[in-house]
């Protein structure tokens, strides 16, 4: 826990510096975050989702679990039995782009909605406050939305851990 807290503090500093940058969108890359993860000795591993050619880093203490529905392609829960999950969904939005999905998120009660870029991929981030859930969504060329939801986001530490997971989302290139 102390390692994750140290990583959280370092990430806060990084985010503070990034906020001072004169960019129009929020941008984050794994290259910015990985050195802090390594320096903080925070263990985890990348999981690859072949059906969407994407990889996501999941911290130690979360393990793959049974998928709760057909739109889920990944679901990770705490190994200690506590509440929480990281859900990876791939939803057919009938060709909706991020702007259209953003409108749907607003209608559904999403807050703190922001445009951004994660590892070069345009996205939106938002919060579902009642569910204490932080989300990031990407539109795909196939007309689907890739969404990663992380809960609970109920503390600074949890919020920053979610930021690290989000920063890890990246395309996998064929070798």
Catalogue all structural domains in the chain, each as residue range(s) with its CATH number. Answer: 2-171 (3.40.1000.10)
Pairing of β 111-118 and β 170-171: unpaired
Mean pLDDT of the chain: 84
Report percent pLDDT > 70 for the chain.
Answer: 85
pTM score of the predicted model: 0.83
- Looking at residue 25, what is its pLDDT? 59
Half-sphere exposure of 5 (CA within 13 A, CB side): 3
Instruction: Determine the pLDDT at residue 174.
Output: 67
């Amino acid at each position: 826990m102390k390692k994750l807290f140290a990583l959280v503090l370092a990430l806060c500093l990084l985010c503070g510096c990034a906020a001072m940058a004169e960019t129009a969108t929020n941008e984050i890359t794994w290259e910015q975050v990985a050195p802090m993860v390594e320096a903080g000795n925070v263990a985890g591993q990348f999981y690859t989702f072949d059906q969407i050619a994407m990889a996501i880093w999941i911290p130690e203490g979360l393990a793959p679990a049974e998928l709760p529905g057909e739109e889920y392609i990944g679901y990770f829960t705490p190994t200690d039995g506590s509440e929480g999950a990281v859900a990876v969904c791939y939803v057919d939005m009938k060709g909706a782009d991020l702007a259209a999905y953003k409108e749907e998120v607003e209608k559904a009660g999403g807050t703190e909605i922001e445009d951004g870029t994660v590892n070069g991929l345009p996205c939106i981030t938002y919060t579902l406050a009642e569910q204490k859930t932080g989300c990031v969504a990407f539109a795909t060329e196939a007309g689907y939305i890739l969404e990663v939801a992380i809960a609970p986001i109920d503390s600074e530490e949890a919020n920053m851990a979610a930021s690290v997971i989000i920063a890890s989302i990246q395309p996998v290139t064929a070798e």
